[in-house]
Amino acid sequence: MSLIVDNLVKRYGEFTAVKGLSFTIDKPGVFALLGTNGAGKTTSIRSILGMLSREGGTVTWKGRALNTTEERVGYLAEERGLYAKYTIHEQMMYFAELKGLKKNKANDAINFWLDRLGASEYLKKRAETLSKGNQQKVQLAIALISDPELLILDEPLSGLDPVNTDLFRSVIRDEINKGKYIIMSSHQMPTIEEFCTDIVILHRGEAVLQGNLNEIKKGYGRVKLSVKADENILPLALECGLEVVQQTPNGTDFRVGNPVQAETFLKKAIEGGITLVKYELREPSLHEIFVEKAGGDTNEG
Amino acid sequence: MKAKGWQQVFKFTFLQMIKSKSYIISTIIIIACILLMSLGANFLPGLLMGRDNDKEPTLEEVGVISPFRIDTIYLSDRSSIEPAPYYGFLTAYNIDVVMISESEVEAITEKVRTSLEAIGLIEVIAAEYGYDVIISRPEFDGLLSTANFNTISEMLNNRVWRAHMISIGVPEDSIDDISIYVNSQITIAGETPRNEMATMLANSIIPMVSSMVLFMFIFMYGSLTAQAIATEKTSRVMETLLTSVRPMAVILGKVLGMGLASFTQFFALVVAGFGISAIVAPFGTLGQVFGSVEIAVDDVQMHMVKTAFDEAFSGFNPLSLIWIIVIFLLGFFFYSLIGGLFGATISRIEDLQSALTPMSLIGVFGFYLAYVSPAFSIDSEEVNIVQRFSYYFPISSPFALPGVIISGEMNAVGALISVGFLAVCCVLMLMFVSRIYETIITHTGNRITLKAMFKMAKGK
């Protein structure tokens, strides 16, 4: 079972929103679709789901063209939407029936997910009376109601408080453990690093980096040095050829050209009697990789 | 056209619609309006003005208080009609009748004029041409006004006439037989004659009223369909929907669901209309009990009205009802598809009104064509050319056709041709919508113009 997106192209008139996006998810887990605002993430997701017509490319799920009306696919859209005037039960039942669930099973699923997400008390309430966070819970429940094999989460954690963020993360973890195929788009890099094995970074509709996250990081090598000391270390760092990335109260981050520079800096610092509070030579974080690849000239929209 | 899942959309749309407060309240208001109109036109006059019956009511039926609020009538009978009395009905209404001679009339006239009591004077006088019935009431109108004597006047006229017939030897049983009305009609050679009132009803009143009612239902619910789709799109529910059903299933289910809700309300109106008429109207149960119309018009006029209505509704039968249902549904489908299409072109709900402008122009043009054209034929037996055009033009035919089918002005062949045009238009509209709907429903940003829609359809 795998999802293969091959050479996906989406145009709006003269503007190409997605330029030949290709990736494969061949094992359960979370695949991250990253990019700045307007990079083409949501357009890619809508094209994959067949909501938008494609100017090129194919999307194959379990060996045949993906048809969301035939398959168990769950989708949590970036822009949330519920029927404001209808009760939570009415609309959840509607979406469950659209997914082909019988009334009894639909009721069981509704009760299970609202209970799991701590929203059972809202069952008979109209959506407009719920807070944004609780509406988001209902939307996640709707995405999960048919026990989907393929789950697409577009910014699932945006706007949630820390407690509900943890709740959503635990639900996502459960789904991973159940062997679900998940595509997740998020701007919260720690969350992506927590869940995702493979990523693609989009920039202006084009994939600028993709692959296994660990391998990508390894490919960069340990090129980031974080140092905190009681004394001023900048003259020494510059003497050793280190490039300052940023200075914060927690220390200074450097870009390291090669490991020898870092070793030389450490040796000279100890010899010079500098009291080092922190010295960390590491691979770049996903955040740093993302900024490097997509942060050059962002295109809001 | 892929539309799997439209049944669920249809069911949800219909159930949510009929459960909505606005639907329930509007249905109740419409039925209440019909009831009030029927009461106002037929039932209330009967209550306010008393009743007239061939059978004299008993005192028990009437009660101790006179329905005319008159305590005493002084009667000067100079009619010379034998056998009298023709005024027995007054005592049956618990009115004291005091017979006076001609010499007492002057004094009693003055007494009545200055009286502050509920009394009156009636003089029945033989004249060369028949009889004069003069009724005098007090100057002070705090207790009694002219209206209190109107019904007595009409009842008395009828009874004096009957008494005269009997007095000249006409058998009582034959009086009703000689009370006939001669109705003359002018018609085009070969055509079934129809009286003037029936012609006016059939050619003008029924088409105008029915076009108004149909426009209200078809256009209003078409706009509601547009609003529902626009709301789903702008509230982003559409994105969740589209992972389960194709866009065409959404619009098809939505249009049909709204259509059934609209038809249910329309049908409720028709049933309520007939039901209420059967009970309240002058021909109905309560109308007869209270004799509501008989007091205002004589039997001949009543007969004419009944005949005119019978003739004007001569086309109404089970088959024509089926035609009307088909036309209603096709008309609704046509306008709802247009509404759904324009509703899907917007990304912000505040743009809905401007997006629906083309639909409004089309609908209002069709309505005026159906509504105004019959007015030109109000005094004519001929159907004018604009009126005839409105029967076949798909934009106006949903509003125009049912009225002329009811009145029998449109035969089955004509109706079939008109419905055929409308059905073809619906199919063309469906094809157009299916070509571009999947593109526009997920479009965000500025509203899609009509020109852009045609360009899209051409491109596909």
The pLDDT of A271-288, averaged and rounded, is: 90
Contacting A with CB below 8 Å, chain B residues are 2, 4-5, 8-9, 12, 16, 20, 232, 235-246, 438-439, 442
**Which residues, 6+ apart, have CB-to-CB distance to A285 below 8 Å?**
A189, A193, A224
Could you give the C-alpha distances from A123 to A80, A108, A142, in angstroms and in order? Answer: 18, 13, 13
Q: What is the pLDDT of residue B58?
A: 46
Q: Shortest CA distance to A92 belongs to which of B354, B232, B422, B237? A: B237
Could you give the C-alpha distances from A85 to A131, B17, B347, in angstroms and in order? Answer: 14, 11, 19
How far away is chain A from the Cα of B286, in angstroms, using its nearest Cα? 43
Q: What is the pLDDT of residue A12?
A: 82
Is a pLDDT exceeding 90 seen at residue A129? yes
Q: What is the pLDDT of residue B69?
A: 76
Is a pLDDT exceeding 70 seen at residue A298? no
**Which residues, 6+ apart, have CB-to-CB distance to A5 below 8 Å?**
A21, A22, A23, A24, A48, A57, A58, A59
Q: Does A52 touch chain B (CB under 8 A)?
A: yes
**Closest Cβ opposite residue A46 in set B235, B241, B442:** B442
SS3 per-residue string spanning A20-41: EEEEEECCCEEEEEEECCCCCH
Mutation for A interface: B9, B13, B241, B243, most A CBs within 10 A = B243
What distance in Å separates the CA atoms of residue A67 and residue A122, rounded to the nearest whole number? Answer: 32
Pairwise CB contact (< 8 Å): B241 & A98: yes
Q: What is the pLDDT of residue B292?
A: 46
The dihedral over CA atoms of A136, A142, A147, A149, expressed in degrees to the nearest 10, equals -70
CB contacts, 8 Å: B438 with chain A: 53
Largest CA distance in chain B: 102
Q: For B57-90, what is each residue's pLDDT tens digit?
A: 444 444 444 566 788 899 998 888 876 667 777 8
Pairwise CB contact (< 8 Å): A74 & B243: yes
**Which residues, 6+ apart, have CB-to-CB distance to A262 below 8 Å?**
A222, A225, A242, A256, A281
Q: What is the pLDDT of residue A78?
A: 85
What distance in Å separates the CA atoms of residue A148 and residue A95, rounded to the nearest whole number? Answer: 13
Q: Where are the domains of chain B?
A: 6-42+192-459, 59-178
Is a pLDDT exceeding 90 seen at residue A118? yes
Q: What is the pLDDT of residue A152?
A: 95
Higher pLDDT, A106 or B193: A106
pLDDT string in tens for chain B (460-residue length): 567 788 999 999 999 999 988 899 988 998 888 888 777 666 555 555 444 444 444 444 444 445 667 888 999 988 888 766 677 778 877 888 898 999 999 999 999 998 888 889 999 888 888 888 898 988 887 777 777 777 788 888 888 888 888 888 888 778 777 766 666 666 666 666 666 777 777 777 888 888 898 898 888 888 888 888 888 888 888 888 888 888 888 888 988 998 899 888 888 887 887 777 667 655 555 555 554 444 444 455 566 667 777 777 777 788 888 888 899 889 999 998 898 888 888 888 888 888 888 889 999 999 999 888 877 766 666 677 888 899 999 999 999 988 888 887 788 888 899 999 999 999 998 888 887 887 788 777 778 888 888 888 777 6
Cis upstream peptide for B67 (omega within 30°): no
Q: For B26-42, what is each residue's pLDDT tens digit?
A: 889 988 888 887 776 66
Q: What is the pLDDT of residue B207?
A: 83
Select B59-178's CATH number: 1.10.287, 3.40.190, 3.40.710, 3.50.50.
3.40.190
Q: For A9-18, what is each residue's pLDDT tens digit?
A: 998 878 899 9
> Among positive and negative, which fits the CA dihedral B142, B145, B151, B152?
positive
R_g of chain B computed on alpha carbons: 31
Q: What is the pLDDT of residue B57?
A: 46
pTM of the model as a whole: 0.71
Q: What is the pLDDT of residue A31?
A: 94
The pLDDT of A31-48, averaged and rounded, is: 91
Contact A86, A37 (CB under 8 A): no
Relative to beta strand A243-248, strand A224-229 is unpaired
What distance in Å separates the CA atoms of residue A35 and residue A42, rounded to the nearest whole number? Answer: 10
Mean model confidence pLDDT for chain A: 90
Contact B238, B9 (CB under 8 A): no
What distance in Å separates the CA atoms of residue B134 and residue A35, rounded to the nearest whole number? Answer: 100
Pairwise CB contact (< 8 Å): A52 & B442: yes
Q: Does A81 touch chain B (CB under 8 A)?
A: yes
Span between the terminal Cα atoms of chain A, in Å: 35
Residue B177 burial (C-beta neighbours within 10 Å; 0-12, 13-18, 19+)? exposed
Q: What is the pLDDT of residue B50?
A: 47
Contact B398, B214 (CB under 8 A): yes
Residue B206 amino acid letter: I
Q: For B338-363, what is each residue's pLDDT tens digit?
A: 988 888 888 888 888 888 888 899 99
The pLDDT of A115-142, averaged and rounded, is: 94
CB contacts, 8 Å: A135 with chain B: none
| Ordered domains of chain A (ranges, CATH) | 3-217 (3.40.50.300), 222-282 (3.30.70)
Q: What is the pLDDT of residue B83?
A: 61
Look up tokens 């009842």; give the residue. B155
Size of interface A-B (CB pairs under 8 A): 64
Is a pLDDT exceeding 70 seen at residue A93? yes
What distance in Å separates the CA atoms of residue B219 and residue B359, rounded to the nearest whole number? Answer: 9
The pLDDT of A29-41, averaged and rounded, is: 90
Pairwise CB contact (< 8 Å): B239 & A68: no
Higher pLDDT, A295 or A230: A230
